[in-house]
């Protein structure tokens, strides 16, 4: 595909958070941005994740690579300091991370502990607000921010449990951030991919069933892959999408419109 693609984001600076491996949605975003000319900053969760992420980041030509666990005080500030020092600005931010403790995720919402709910909300939602706060001052020419949501934010999806309310909060946060940051020329999008076989998805009970159902429902006959998600974000980051902000953009082959 790359031969036919124009470098529409040439020279744009993109921070992509959430690459765990080459199946990660964040990897699809980073690869799509690189294919259309953007410079990348890519993070890994911790030392254990680094050997899986660093080679991918190098292959994509990332010029900034660093550890980032959003629950470790100071790490988020450190990556934005590095971006400020090295690039002096930022154009694109991708938040593609989620976490809930296993027992709290798999035991149904009624059994989700207060601590588990708070942790899921902090890592999967509020960390986006923190990132947006640090990113906005660097988006001196405007910019685009993306957070990965899921259909379970708005409709009950069996076994999605606590992540449903968390993604609902994430989508609402995107709307409020879009409203606050719009005057600065910064647009904020919730992206809602259909089910994809990633490491995070493997924590959901009966995920294979969900995949099969969504594929069967999809009007286009197949589900989206991570590059579809990446190129959707790349498009939304271009001036062609300059009047789009605050909404939830489904990248799911149309499954969400089918009852
Ligand atoms: P993934 O496992 O590849 O990515 C999840 C990422 O979250 C990992 O890179 C992990 O390191 C990161 N993460 C977890 N805790 C973190 C922390 N404290 N600090 C920093 N990073 C942390 O799985 P994925 O499916 O690519 O997930 C990416 C996003 O897409 C998530 O928000 C997920 O809910 C969302 N999503 C996934 C699907 C799907 O079917 N896979 C569908 C819709 C939305």
Is 90 exceeded by the pLDDT of residue 1? no
**Pairing relation of β-strands 39-44 and 13-17?**
parallel
* Alpha helix (H) residue ranges in 18-113: 25-35, 50-59, 75-86, 102-106
Please say whether the beta carbons of 93 and 145 come within 8 A. yes
pLDDT band at 203 (very low <50, low <70, confident <90, very high): confident
Question: What is the pTM (predicted TM-score) of this model?
Answer: 0.98
233 within a domain of the structure (yes/no) = yes
Q: How far apart are CA 174 and CA 254, in angstroms?
A: 21
Pocket flag, ligand 1, residue 68 (CB < 6 Å): yes
Three-class SS state of 12: coil
Q: Name the residues annotated as catalytic.
A: 150, 160
Quick one: what percent of the chain has pLDDT higher than 70? 99
Which of 198, 211, 228, 249 to mutate for ligand 1's pocket (most ligand atoms within 8 Å of CB)? Answer: 198
CA-124 nearest atom, ligand 1: 32
Q: Specify the residue with its C-alpha closest to ligand 1, atom 7.
A: 97
**Across 11-26, average pLDDT:** 98
Range of the domain at 187: 13-253
Is 90 exceeded by the pLDDT of residue 6? no
Q: Specify the residue with its C-alpha closest to ligand 1, atom 41.
A: 196
Q: Specify the residue with its C-alpha closest to ligand 1, atom 22.
A: 97
CATH code where residue 22 lies: 3.40.50.720
197 within a domain of the structure (yes/no) = yes
pLDDT in tens, 247-259: 999 999 999 999 9
Q: How far is the CA of 200 from the centre of ligand 1 (A)?
A: 5
Distances (CA, A) of 160 to 5, 107, 197, 259: 36, 10, 15, 18
Q: Residue 4 has what pLDDT? A: 72
Pocket flag, ligand 1, residue 25 (CB < 6 Å): yes
Q: How far is the CA of 68 from the centre of ligand 1 (A)?
A: 13
- The values of phi and psi at residue 142, to 5°, are 80, 180
Domain count along the chain: 1
Q: Residue 132 has what pLDDT? A: 99
pLDDT band at 47 (very low <50, low <70, confident <90, very high): very high
116 within a domain of the structure (yes/no) = yes
Q: Which residue has the tokens 């923190």?
A: 130
Pocket flag, ligand 1, residue 30 (CB < 6 Å): no
198 within a domain of the structure (yes/no) = yes
Q: Residue 3 has what pLDDT? A: 58
Pocket flag, ligand 1, residue 151 (CB < 6 Å): no
pLDDT band at 101 (very low <50, low <70, confident <90, very high): very high
pLDDT in tens, 135-162: 999 999 999 999 999 999 999 999 999 9
- Strand stretches in the chain, DSSP E: 13-17, 39-44, 64-67, 92-95, 143-148, 186-193, 248-251
* Alpha helix (H) residue ranges in 182-225: 207-217
8 within a domain of the structure (yes/no) = no
Residue 236 CB contacts under 8 Å (≥ 6 apart), including other chains: 144, 146, 187, 189, 244, 249
7 within a domain of the structure (yes/no) = no
- The values of phi and psi at residue 66, to 5°, are -160, 160
**Across 128-137, average pLDDT:** 98
Pocket flag, ligand 1, residue 226 (CB < 6 Å): no
CA-199 nearest atom, ligand 1: 2
220 within a domain of the structure (yes/no) = yes
Q: Which of 81, 97, 75 minimizes the C-alpha distance to 27? A: 97
6 within a domain of the structure (yes/no) = no
């Amino acid at each position: 595909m790359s031969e036919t693609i124009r470098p529409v984001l040439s020279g744009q600076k993109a921070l992509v958070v959430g690459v765990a491996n080459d199946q990660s949605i964040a990897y699809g975003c980073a690869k799509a941005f690189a294919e259309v000319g953007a410079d990348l900053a890519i993070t890994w969760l911790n030392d254990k994740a680094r050997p899986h992420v660093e080679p991918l980041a190098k292959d994509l030509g990332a010029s900034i690579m660093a550890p980032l666990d959003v629950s470790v005080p100071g790490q988020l500030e450190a990556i934005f300091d590095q971006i400020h020092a090295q690039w002096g600005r930022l154009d694109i931010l991708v938040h593609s991370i989620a976490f809930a403790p296993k027992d709290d995720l798999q035991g149904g919402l009624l059994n989700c502990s207060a601590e588990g709910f708070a942790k899921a909300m902090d890592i999967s939602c509020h960390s986006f607000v923190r990132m947006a706060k640090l990113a906005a001052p660097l988006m001196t020419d405007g910019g685009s921010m993306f957070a990965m949501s899921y259909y379970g934010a708005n409709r009950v999806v069996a076994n999605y449990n606590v992540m449903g309310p968390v993604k609902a909060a994430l989508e609402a946060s995107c709307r409020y951030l879009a409203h606050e940051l719009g005057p600065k020329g910064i647009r904020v999008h919730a992206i809602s991919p259909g089910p994809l076989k990633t490491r995070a998805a493997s924590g959901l009970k009966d995920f294979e069933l969900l995949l099969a159902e969504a594929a069967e429902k999809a009007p286009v006959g197949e589900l989206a892959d991570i590059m579809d998600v990446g190129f959707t974000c790349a498009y939304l980051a271009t001036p062609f999408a300059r009047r789009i902000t605050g909404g939830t953009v489904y990248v799911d082959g149309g499954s969400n419109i089918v009852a």
